[in-house]
Amino acid sequence: MMTRADFEKLDAQDPLAGLRQQFILEDGLIYLDGNSLGVLPRATAPRVAQVVQQEWGQGLIRSWNSAGWISLSQRVGNKIAQLIGARSGEVVAVDSTSINLFKVLAAALGIAQARDPARTVVLSEAGNFPTDLYVAQGLSALTQQRCVLKQVESGEILGALSQDTAVLMLTHVNYKTGAMWDMSAITAAAQARGVLVIWDLAHSAGAVEVDLHQANADFAVGCGYKYLNGGPGAPAFVWMHPRHAAHARQPLSGWLGHVSPFAFSPDYSPAHGITQFVCGTPPVISLAALECGVDTVLAAGSVGGMRAVRAKSTALTRAFIACITPFCERLGLTLISPRQDDARGSQVCYAHANAYAVMQALIERRVIGDFRAPDVLRFGFTPLYTRFADVFDAAQGLQEVLATKVYAQERFTRRQAVT
Amino acid sequence: MMTRADFEKLDAQDPLAGLRQQFILEDGLIYLDGNSLGVLPRATAPRVAQVVQQEWGQGLIRSWNSAGWISLSQRVGNKIAQLIGARSGEVVAVDSTSINLFKVLAAALGIAQARDPARTVVLSEAGNFPTDLYVAQGLSALTQQRCVLKQVESGEILGALSQDTAVLMLTHVNYKTGAMWDMSAITAAAQARGVLVIWDLAHSAGAVEVDLHQANADFAVGCGYKYLNGGPGAPAFVWMHPRHAAHARQPLSGWLGHVSPFAFSPDYSPAHGITQFVCGTPPVISLAALECGVDTVLAAGSVGGMRAVRAKSTALTRAFIACITPFCERLGLTLISPRQDDARGSQVCYAHANAYAVMQALIERRVIGDFRAPDVLRFGFTPLYTRFADVFDAAQGLQEVLATKVYAQERFTRRQAVT
């Protein structure tokens, strides 16, 4: 049995330990919810104040040029590209994940149906994050079923790829279970059947290794406020493989996606490459905060980059499972994340009959994880600021909450709007 | 001929003069570009710092409940509603104007075609802001011409309404000329021909009186970063008349527009009313800044509200025209904004053969207006912080720039990316 001292030793040996200094973290708080909202980087508040007070307040409209606002989506996109195996000029940071998914789904559908109009199915996983499914349903209704969403269980995805399938749309790491797809293998299998592949990297970017070019993916979107630490509701990002640049056409055609926005031409002509995926004017303040968040992940470049981040992530989640296993069954927990390291993202989830109340009780003990309906306890391990000692303490806390049944108290069982 | 002293007297008598104290304005700078980017309110930097440092930094994920982030789009929307003749619960602040326009255009088209599938035309003004036209073109392409954009000159709009017209989509105040539609009359004329009407309030909200219910409009969208002073790229807003709530369906169906987002149901079921127009997670920091901006306009409530704001706006633009008129023709200026007060928004525009260079020279003299291709000088007058003395000084500055031909110097004629 490992002791807390063993975990402290792991922290002492951790080459990424210094990255924690980039964040403002409350003493004694164990935050295992960076997969829902990443913590505040030290650089963000001063940078946001600068954007508000100097760039906006003093620069005013001139800052579109002088402060580079006009290409901020591209600048932040280029930084994100480095974390996901994309190249400079291939990513923009803009809008929300949902909106970006609508863009790439419509673009991919257009490409697929230009090749073969009989391909109408958008295939996805039944347990995908709901917004991904909703966006496909919205596109289906708008196009009068020119595409139809088909949801199958994860084990049936490969078998469900058929002559009817236009697009396979998957989230790389499942939001609820932490299960991670083999991006290269799935992409290759789908493409072998003539299917385009869209990856949602919401729970991947900044946490696990992603190499979009190596995997030969077609499109990708992702989230700025989880492992990228961009702040609440931070803009999302979107990537397209350059082989599609000449043909792809996304329908949310706004003025900043125009090839020449300041010509104010009455007819839309898309910008080259990924810039056509910019639509309206992006929220500059939130985008500046996102850049600070992305910088915290890029800082890992000096200590091994995303490979080292992933290695630590795997070690953290493996250690957490190891800590829980001795009391898991006895205290009513069921592991729903994959035990196999390379099939698991940066989170560990357990089912428990009283999951909501258990999480509330744990939060009161200053271990913050997430509840996901109906019965899931979700623990996210952000390698940049989570320590091995935190893993030990969180497991201890969970054990005590469960063993003492403190969670049965009314103040924990009473539901709030959001958790 | 009026002197500067006369203008100073107007400022002394101005019941709205005190509202200027709400903003951080550089001494000696005359900012006539609030219709492109409103100036920084004093309240914004502290509020943004609070959101970043306390709500995000300390509250972390808990702030979705404890800081009310989850209903921030609605809270800010309810404040905007008060400025545009909408009711509480009818407006949300979310996404960009372009994206919101796509939502309402698709929703309106769905309603129109459910009544009569032969109505396929989206009618708009040829000189409308390009993004509005592009969005309609994007929807047209995506739906395989289930709708088609028809652009006609403003004088031909009423005559162009026909049995084929599904939706009339107009910007209330033209971005380039400042010409303002009679919202009630146009809406009534279109509806009499069975046409739904969408108003883009980008250059109206916070500057001119708008009463969406009195005008009986169908849908509206608008911008947060112009007269609402919400900051660069601030989220936009969207309104729907409640008579459409039961039937409207917008296609950008994201999880926060779901009737029960935290049920994580695999099938989309829209939230009631305007909340279905929320899509993904909104950018909280930028949304908080927008709220501060909206508050600066609401503050006019104590000194006469939007009626008083509009009265001052009209007086400012009329005074500017009066100052320019004596040298207008002689120095090559042509007024392209309506002379008639009630047909003009809160801006005054002149054509000039060297408009770009003239504006650069004027900016160097610390009078900031806007250039719009190919030959337009655009001056926006934000009634909340523009003084009558500023009008005088700006006109004087323009006269000197033109009379001395200083604008012909190379440093003014060299183009930048954005102006």
* Span B335-380, pLDDT tens digits: 999 999 999 999 999 999 999 999 999 999 999 999 998 999 999 9
What pLDDT digit, counting tens, does each position of B217-233 carry? 999 999 999 999 999 99
Q: Is the minimum CB–CB distance between A281 and chain B shorter than 8 Å?
A: yes
pLDDT at residue number A419 = 41
Minimal C-alpha gap between A2 and chain B (Å): 31
From A45, A251, A264, residue closest to B139, measured CB to CB:
A251
Q: Which amino acid is at B141?
A: A
Sign of the dihedral through C-alpha A250, A255, A261, A267: positive
Measured distance CA(A39)–CA(A289) in Å, rounded: 12
Whether residues A49 and B53 touch (CB distance < 8 A) is answered with no
Can A62 be counted among the known catalytic residues? no
Q: Mean pLDDT across chain B, nearest whole number? A: 97
Q: What pTM did the predictor assign?
A: 0.97
Can B193 be counted among the known catalytic residues? no
Measured distance CA(A391)–CA(B202) in Å, rounded: 50
Residue B418 has pLDDT above 80, yes or no: no
Mean pLDDT of B208-220: 98
Strand partners, B330: none
Residue identified by tokens 């998914």 is A101
Checking ipTM against 0.90, whether it exceeds it is: yes
Whether residues B262 and A36 touch (CB distance < 8 A) is answered with no
From B69, B99, B286, residue closest to A95, measured CB to CB:
B99
Measured distance CA(B56)–CA(B54) in Å, rounded: 6
Closest CA to A399 of A335, A331, A347: A331
Question: Strands B347-351 and B334-335: what pairing?
Answer: antiparallel
Whether residues B284 and A286 touch (CB distance < 8 A) is answered with yes
Can B412 be counted among the known catalytic residues? no
- CB within 8 Å of chain B, chain A residues 303-362: none
Q: Is the minimum CB–CB distance between B134 and chain A shorter than 8 Å?
A: yes
Mutation to test the A interface, candidates B29, B281, B368, B378, most A Cβ within 10 Å:
B281
From A37, A48, A139, residue closest to B285, measured CB to CB:
A48
From A70, A280, A283, residue closest to B417, measured CB to CB:
A70
pLDDT at residue number B50 = 98
What pLDDT digit, counting tens, does each position of B107-145 carry? 999 999 999 999 999 999 999 999 999 999 999 999 999
pLDDT at residue number B419 = 42
pLDDT at residue number B211 = 98
Mean pLDDT of B168-176: 97
Minimal C-alpha gap between B284 and chain A (Å): 6
What pLDDT digit, counting tens, does each position of B73-94 carry? 999 999 999 999 999 999 999 9
Can A150 be counted among the known catalytic residues? no
Whether residues A144 and B146 touch (CB distance < 8 A) is answered with yes
Which residues of chain A register pLDDT less than 70?
Answer: 416-419
The rounded percent of chain B whose pLDDT value lies above 90 is 97
- CB within 8 Å of chain A, chain B residues 245-264: 249-255, 257-258, 261-264
Residues 6+ away with beta carbon under 8 Å from B108: B166, B167, B196, B198, B218, B219, B248
Measured CA to CA in angstroms, residue A284 lies from B120, B297, B387 at distances of 36, 22, 28
Whether residues A251 and B286 touch (CB distance < 8 A) is answered with no
Measured distance CA(B61)–CA(A38) in Å, rounded: 9
With cut-offs at 50, 70 and 90, classify the pLDDT of residue B102. Answer: very high
pLDDT at residue number B29 = 97
Measured distance CA(A164)–CA(A116) in Å, rounded: 9
